[in-house]
């Protein structure tokens, strides 16, 4: 499926709506704009291959498909939490090796 500026291509971006010709998903634009409070101009400053029309098309697609995009964002966040819970922290491992298990213990080790 292709809408001007927005594509949904199986196998690309997990089959999620994205900016045509880019691997930037609609949900990425939404997160930058809604959660990180970036203006469309700031988004294209950081991603100069995008146009204002691309950004506004992504936002229009979002507002036309709120439930779908919000669910995709929730699914992505749940996946990140799942992976983080299964992935040991390298820093935690190193701190345990030197006997640091709590913040208080860390402060004590610093003062020694």
Residue 2, classed as helix, strand or coil, is strand
CA-based nearest residue to 19, from 47, 52, 60, 54: 54
Helix (H, G, I), strand (E, B) or coil at 25: strand
Alpha carbon of 108 to those of 78, 90, 94, 95: distances in Å? 36, 21, 16, 13
Q: Residue 101: is its pLDDT beyond 80?
A: no
Fold (CATH) for 6-98:
Arc Repressor Mutant, subunit A (1.10.10)
The per-residue pLDDT for range 10-25, each reduced to its tens digit, is 999 999 999 999 999 9
Distance in angstroms (rounded) separating the CA atoms of residues 35 and 16: 19
38 phi and psi angles, rounded to 5 deg: -85, 135
Indicate the pTM of the whole model: 0.74
50-55 long-range contacts (CB < 8 A, ≥24 apart) are 50/19, 50/22, 50/24, 53/5, 54/5, 54/19, 54/20, 54/22, 55/29
pLDDT in tens, 28-65: 999 999 999 999 999 999 999 999 999 999 999 999 99
Taking CA atoms, 53 is separated from 6, 23, 41, 71, in Å, by 10, 16, 11, 24
């Amino acid at each position: 499926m292709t809408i001007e500026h927005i594509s949904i291509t199986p196998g690309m971006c997990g089959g999620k709506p994205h900016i045509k010709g880019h691997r930037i998903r609609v949900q990425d634009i939404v997160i930058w704009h809604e959660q990180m409070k970036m203006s469309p101009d700031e988004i294209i400053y950081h991603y100069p291959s995008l146009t204002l029309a691309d950004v506004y098309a992504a936002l229009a697609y979002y507002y036309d498909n709120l439930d779908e995009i919000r669910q995709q964002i929730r699914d992505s966040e749940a996946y990140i939490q799942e992976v983080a819970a299964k992935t040991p922290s390298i820093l935690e491992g190193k701190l345990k090796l030197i006997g640091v298990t709590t913040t208080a213990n860390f402060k004590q080790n610093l003062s020694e």
